[in-house]
Structure 1
Amino acid sequence: MKKQPRLNFWQIWNVSFGFLGIQMGFALQGANVSRILSNLGADLHHLSLFWLAAPVMGLIVQPIVGGASDRTWNRLGRRGPYIFGGAFVAALAMFFLPNAGIAVYLVPALVFGALMFAIMDGSFNITMQPFRALVADMVPSEQRNLGYSVQSFLINTGAVLGSILPFVLTNVLGVANVAPDGEVPSSVVWSFYIGGGALLLSVIWTVFRTKEYPPKEYAEYKGLDLTKKKDPSEKGIMGFFRLLKQTPKTMLQLAIVQFFSWFALYLMWVYTTSAVAQHIWSCPISDTSSKAYQDAGNWVGILFAGYSLFAAIFSIFMSRMATKIGRKTVYSVSLLLGGLGFLSTLMFSGGDMIHLNLLITQVDVPSSAVYWLIPMVGVGIAWAAILAMPYAILSDTLPADKMGIFMGIFNFTIAGPQIISGFVGGPILKEFFNGEAIYVLVLCGVCMILGAISVMFVKQAKAVN
């Protein structure tokens, strides 16, 4: 087997740069889709059901795209065609989603909005899955801690930019932040336009600045035999189920950690806006259109930008820490800090209005809104680890010729918990928490702590080709 060449820093940067735009899209989705759907008429207790579109699309799309990209090679490379194609469709959906009202004469705006949400998230998944495989393809094993840390840094930088867009447009540029019932504020609409453009440009940068290894050269680096014919039993649905039987034990153990992590993350994305509006701005449970609710929605963007910023900073040190004290230790401690962060949100509520100077603008917010940045430190550290450590642990155990499809299968451990969370989130909020969304975030903290404990039972296997 021929030794795969090491990449310099900027080559690793270029391989991962498209994550910047992808995560701007994901951040806009995470911070604003509940707000958009509420503006379009969705009931608070049903929001988690609308959000099911995201994990269901991931569950369907990622294994299919992963397997297809393993077998593809053309002028754009192996993963490039799927990365670019997915980004193009995702950008179009981002342009249409906040403008769901234009379709009111054809279908209800809420239905059109939910459809655009599904298409947008499905396209994100088409782009994201080959991207993760691309990092594993291009970055040699000894550089993967660095590779996935750079990836995590770019992801979180993109998340910061995407999260603060509505707030900046409202408070710096004066774009309207309120709209009539059934419509989406202009600050959110223009944020999605900007995010879609950034998504396309960053993905184009990666696709055209990264030269993927041709099949023969790739086979030499990964120790693959191109003359070996594919086993017919590996084709079709039955072949897929046979492949599932070959799932590495490490993946199954990581699946338990992923369950607790992504169950919590899904609830965070769905209910943070309601939790902040109720717990900090004292909005009634049924309020989804007042100025206070919209201000709370903008502040959620700041909070999400906060945890993403802390994640980006932590990502700078995460690679060295993982090399020095081990990936599992970094992963477990990070999830523990995330759990404590979620639990601490219960401590900060209401408070007098204070004048806050954010350098680029000045705003008046309840004092507890500022204190909520403290829990975001722990949440950000956990998020950085979730984006990098499972893949760094797993990638060394996967066969190179099936890297894409196994990475797609691993997405089951992301989509599955979110689907479960989507079905039970609303009933939990209604029956156990009486509509008070802050207690959903407390539940997120418990789940993160259980995830931290589960990491200790993961057995890291030796790298395979």
Structure 2
Amino acid sequence: MTTPPPHTKPKTGEITTIRPTRPAPTPPPRPPIPHTRPKPIHPHPRVPLLTLLKITSVAGGIQFGWALQLSLLTPYVQELGIPHAFASIIWLCGPVSGFFVQPLVGHISDRATTRFGRRRPFILAGAALIVVAVTIVGFSADIGYFLGDYRGGADSKKRPRAIVAFVVGFWLLDVANNTTQGPCRALLADLTGKDHRRNRVANAYYSLFMAVGNILGFATGSYTKWYNILPFTLTRGCRESCANLKAAFLIDIIFIVITTYISITAAHEVPLTSRDRPTSISQGSQQSSHTEEAFFWELFGTFKFLSGPIWLILSVTALTWIGWFPFLLFDTDWMGREVYGGNPEEGIAYHKGVSTGALGLMLQSVVLAITSVLMEKLCRKLGSGILWGVSNIIMSLCFIAMLAIAFAVSKAESSGYSTPSNGAVIAAVTVFTVLGMPLAVTYSVPYALVSARIESLGLGQGLSMGVLNLAIVIPQVIVSLGSGPWDQLFGGGNSPAIAVAAVASFASGLMAILVLPRSRAEKTRTLGMHV
């Protein structure tokens, strides 16, 4: 019997046999498919809030010294013999060092592979440099005396060597501050990852400790009898006001050592390996053999990749700091000159005004601390952009109030009153206090906004903070170079610079409210309020 060919129908009655087919071999079992979801290079476990609070404590130590700078150093440089018109140029070191140091440190820390982590070595090095710098600043009069100042007599006002020592220490202090602040901010972004709410909380903690440092620093600067508690600070080259400043900076050294220890021991960084280095947007370009060249190529190369919302944030930040810097530069000097009618080189009225100004700045820091605690709730209620804009308009109104107070006091002086009225002093201190609210917003909201939006570019958080820092330091350079000559053009007071600050802060407030993009959640909440 034959089997019919395939596809043929067998004839009727014909018996056919079906040849059994051989079963196909069973394929070998496939190996289990591994989990293909890519693992992040650095997983972000949920860091306890208490740990974030401890890490941000170093901001208190940094800000303690910064508060002493703001309250005491502008008057002090004029006591050393630097004219008011050139006092602002001394502050030029801050933005200049911020322009180069903070982005470079952030860039290097993004790629650091030390076993101690990426950020902590820079925080520790910056804190050590702060200790050296404040020692030089505090002992600058003694250094000048040792090198030959006062040889023309005990009352000689020529202290060129003390001025040189002071300027060196002052510039070194700003370099140290920028070395520490950038990695600390970047560390918070590293630990919170893509949890934007937790990042806002961490930046609010940072702002809170800045407020604590401000309170302690301004309280220390407002007390005028430290030389009685620390009598060794009085020397032949350093009298009462100088000894007060020296004692305050010695206290700052103790505080920065304590807070730095708490911060770096609380942070647990995973050491970065060479293959885990973050991918940058300029990776496709040829790598330079020099770190600095590669850094500036990458830093300035990022600007063409920035989106419109990021440019708007940077613009509002720049205008905000054009508003803040004249006040931060001349706050206690304004109180001593415009309110108390004093002169740095003669009489006690000026120094009494400086002390009152430091008291006002301390109260300002209390408001800053309270606002920092409420920052997350305020951002959820109003939205970050609206909150930022409203706070900047409040800042503008405060500066306008300062102009009105100075005008009223000058009218009273022309009528024969030699001392300011209690009402003028209370009004000035109140204005200083209210400014704590917008200052808290400035210290936290821009950093959280940039950190959330710049992530998609593939930049490390250190370089991201450096990009934002450029929007802060460039306006400061402009103010430092222009405020002194601008004030001199109108008679030598501080009011012209404060007027510019009022205009800039009002413009930044309107821009934040009307132009700054809002998140989807903020838009939904706004629509719900109008229903």
| TM-score between both structures, scaled by the size of structure 2 | 0.77
> How many angstroms apart in 1 are the aligned matches of 2:124 and 2:324?
27
Specify whether residues 138 and 173 from structure 1 end up closer, same or farther in structure 2 by C-alpha distance, changes over 3 A only.
farther
Residue aligning to 1:386: 442
* Equivalences for residues 24-173 of structure 1 within 5 A: 24-104=64-144, 105=147, 108-139=161-192, 140-168=195-223, 170=225
Residue by residue over 1:76-109, the C-alpha shift from the partner in whole angstroms, topping out at 9 and shown as x without a partner, is 2110000110110111111110321233227621
> How many angstroms apart in 2 are the aligned matches of 1:179 and 1:341?
41
How many Å apart are 1:289 and its aligned residue?
Answer: 4.5
How many Å apart are 1:268 and its aligned residue?
Answer: 1.2
Residue aligning to 1:416: 474
> How many angstroms apart in 1 are the aligned matches of 2:453 and 2:237?
52
5+ unaligned residues in a row in structure 1: which ranges?
353-363
The equivalent position to 1:405 in structure 2, one of 463, 486, 511, is 463
Residue by residue over 1:128-166, the C-alpha shift from the partner in whole angstroms, topping out at 9 and shown as x without a partner, is 011111111112323122111111111111111111102
> How many angstroms apart in 2 are the aligned matches of 1:185 and 1:102?
10
Residue aligning to 2:28: none
Confirm or deny: 8 A CA contact 1:250 1:459 kept in the other structure. Answer: yes
> How many angstroms apart in 1 are the aligned matches of 2:327 and 2:366?
17
> How many angstroms apart in 2 are the aligned matches of 1:11 and 1:31?
31
Over aligned residue pairs, what C-alpha RMSD do you find?
Answer: 3.0
* Equivalences for residues 300-449 of structure 1 within 5 A: 300-348=357-405, 350=409, 366-399=422-455, 401-431=459-489, 433-449=490-506
> How many angstroms apart in 1 are the aligned matches of 2:230 and 2:340?
22
Matched, 1:458 2:516: yes
> How many angstroms apart in 2 are the aligned matches of 1:148 and 1:234?
34
Residue aligning to 2:45: 5
> How many angstroms apart in 1 are the aligned matches of 2:166 and 2:347?
21
The equivalent position to 2:319 in structure 1, one of 236, 260, 271, is 260
Specify whether residues 248 and 86 from structure 1 end up closer, same or farther in structure 2 by C-alpha distance, changes over 3 A only.
farther
Residue aligning to 1:361: none
Confirm or deny: 8 A CA contact 1:66 1:404 kept in the other structure. Answer: yes
Specify whether residues 430 and 401 from structure 1 end up closer, same or farther in structure 2 by C-alpha distance, changes over 3 A only.
closer
How many Å apart are 1:367 and its aligned residue?
Answer: 4.5
Confirm or deny: 8 A CA contact 2:366 2:436 kept in the other structure. Answer: yes
Specify whether residues 334 and 234 from structure 1 end up closer, same or farther in structure 2 by C-alpha distance, changes over 3 A only.
farther
How many Å apart are 1:303 and its aligned residue?
Answer: 1.6
> How many angstroms apart in 2 are the aligned matches of 1:215 and 1:93?
31
Task: Output the amino acid matched with 1:396.
Answer: A
Confirm or deny: 8 A CA contact 1:67 1:405 kept in the other structure. Answer: yes
Task: Output the amino acid matched with 2:95.
Answer: P
Task: Output the amino acid matched with 1:418.
Answer: Q
Specify whether residues 302 and 82 from structure 1 end up closer, same or farther in structure 2 by C-alpha distance, changes over 3 A only.
same
Range with greater deviation from structure 2 (166-175 or 275-284): 166-175
| TM-score between both structures, scaled by the size of structure 1 | 0.87
The equivalent position to 2:335 in structure 1, one of 250, 263, 276, is 276
Task: Output the amino acid matched with 2:441.
Answer: A
Task: Output the amino acid matched with 1:21.
Answer: G
Residue by residue over 1:282-322, the C-alpha shift from the partner in whole angstroms, topping out at 9 and shown as x without a partner, is 225xx435322222222221122122211111111111110
Specify whether residues 32 and 179 from structure 1 end up closer, same or farther in structure 2 by C-alpha distance, changes over 3 A only.
farther
Confirm or deny: 8 A CA contact 2:334 2:494 kept in the other structure. Answer: yes
How many Å apart are 1:55 and its aligned residue?
Answer: 0.7
How many Å apart are 1:210 and its aligned residue?
Answer: 1.0
Specify whether residues 120 and 342 from structure 1 end up closer, same or farther in structure 2 by C-alpha distance, changes over 3 A only.
same
Range with greater deviation from structure 2 (248-257 or 83-92): 248-257
The equivalent position to 2:297 in structure 1, one of 229, 238, 243, is 238
Task: Output the amino acid matched with 1:155.
Answer: M
Specify whether residues 232 and 439 from structure 1 end up closer, same or farther in structure 2 by C-alpha distance, changes over 3 A only.
closer
> How many angstroms apart in 1 are the aligned matches of 2:234 and 2:483?
28
Confirm or deny: 8 A CA contact 1:251 1:410 kept in the other structure. Answer: no
How many Å apart are 1:180 and its aligned residue?
Answer: 9.0
Residue aligning to 1:186: 243
Confirm or deny: 8 A CA contact 2:227 2:244 kept in the other structure. Answer: no
Alignment partner of 1:108: what SS?
Answer: helix
Confirm or deny: 8 A CA contact 1:234 1:240 kept in the other structure. Answer: no
Alignment partner of 1:348: what SS?
Answer: helix
> How many angstroms apart in 1 are the aligned matches of 2:357 and 2:101?
29
Residue aligning to 2:29: none
Confirm or deny: 8 A CA contact 2:113 2:272 kept in the other structure. Answer: yes
Aligned length: 443
Confirm or deny: 8 A CA contact 1:272 1:441 kept in the other structure. Answer: no
How many Å apart are 1:392 and its aligned residue?
Answer: 1.0
Residue by residue over 1:373-419, the C-alpha shift from the partner in whole angstroms, topping out at 9 and shown as x without a partner, is 22124311111011101011111112365211121121111110000
